[in-house]
Homo-oligomer: A and B are copies of this chain.
Amino acid sequence: MLAYMTQVSREKATRFLGPDSATRDLAVDLYLQIANLPLLCPHGHVDPALFTDPDYSFGSPVDLLLLPDHYLLRMLRSQGISYESLGIPDRQGSGGQIEHRQIWQIFADNFHLFRATPSGIWLTLELEDVFGITEKLNGDNAQGIYDQIAAHLETKAFRPRALFERFAIEVLCTTDAATSALKDHKVLKETGWKGRVLPTFRPDTLVNIEAPSWDLKIEKLSQVSGIAVGDYASFLAALEQRRAAFKALGATATDHGLRSAATQSMDAREAEALFRRALRGEADEADAEAFTAHMLIEMARMSSEDGLVMQMHVGAFRNHDTNLFERYGSDRGADIPTSVEFTRNLRPLLERYGHHANFRLVLFTLDESVYARELAPLAGYYPAVRIGPPWWFHDSLNGIERFLEQVSETAGIYNLAGFNDDTRAFPSIPARHEVWRRGVCNWLAGLVLRGVVDETEAAEMAVALAYQLAKDTYRLNEE
Contacts and interface: CB of A to CB of B under 8 A. Distances in A.
B453 A116 contact: yes
Interface string A21-46: 11100000000000000000000000
Contacts of A376: 393
A357 interface: yes
B74 A452 contact: no
Interface of A: 11, 14-23, 74-75, 77-80, 112-118, 121, 136, 317, 320-323, 333-339, 341, 343-344, 347, 350-351, 354-355, 357, 366-369, 372-374, 376-383, 385, 393-394, 396-399, 405-406, 408-415, 445-447, 449-454, 457, 460-461
Contacts of A399: 372, 409
Contact of A116 (B16, B114, B447): B447
Contacts of A367: 369, 373
A338 B343 contact: yes
Number of copies: 3
A351 B79 CA distance: 17
Contacts of A398: 405-406, 409
A341 B339 CA distance: 8
Nearest to A21: B22
16 contacts: A14-B451, A18-B22, A19-B23, A78-B385, A79-B383, A80-B357, A113-B414, A116-B453, A117-B408, A321-B381, A322-B351, A339-B341, A339-B373, A372-B394, A372-B399, A398-B409
B115 A412 contact: yes
Given A113-B412, A113-B414, A393-B377, A17 B79 contact: no
Contact of A337 (B350, B373, B409, B414): B373
A115 B452 CA distance: 8
Contacts of A394: 372
A326 to B, nearest CB: 11
Contacts of A335: 377
Contacts of A80: 357, 383
B412 A114 contact: yes
Contacts of A396: 409-410
A453 B15 CA distance: 10
Contact of A381 (B334, B350, B369): B334
A78 B415 contact: yes
B16 A452 contact: yes
Given A20-B23, A79-B383, A333-B380, 7 more contacts: A112-B457, A117-B408, A323-B351, A336-B374, A336-B378, A338-B374, A368-B373
A75 B380 CA distance: 5
Contacts of A117: 408-410, 412
Of residues A74, A398, A406, A410, which shows the largest number of chain B Cβ atoms within 10 Å of its Cβ? A410
Contacts of A21: 22
Given A339-B373, A372-B393, A450-B18, A321 B351 contact: yes
A449 B18 CA distance: 7
Task: Name the 6 nearest CB pairs between A and B, nearest first.
Answer: A20-B20, A19-B449, A15-B451, A396-B409, A338-B343, A74-B381
A341 B317 CA distance: 13
A19 B450 contact: yes
Contact of A380 (B14, B74, B406): B74
A447 to B, nearest CB: 6
A19 B409 CA distance: 18
A413 B372 contact: no
A112 B14 contact: no
A337 B449 CA distance: 31
A455 B460 CA distance: 35
A11 B321 CA distance: 51
Contacts of A405: 398
Contact of A22 (B19, B321, B415): B19
Contacts of A79: 383, 414-415
Contacts of A454: 136
Nearest to A81: B383
A430 to B, nearest CB: 17
Given A19-B23, A19-B445, A382 B337 contact: no
Nearest to A118: B409
A367 B15 CA distance: 33
A367 B373 CA distance: 6
Contacts of A118: 409
Contacts of A451: 11, 14-16
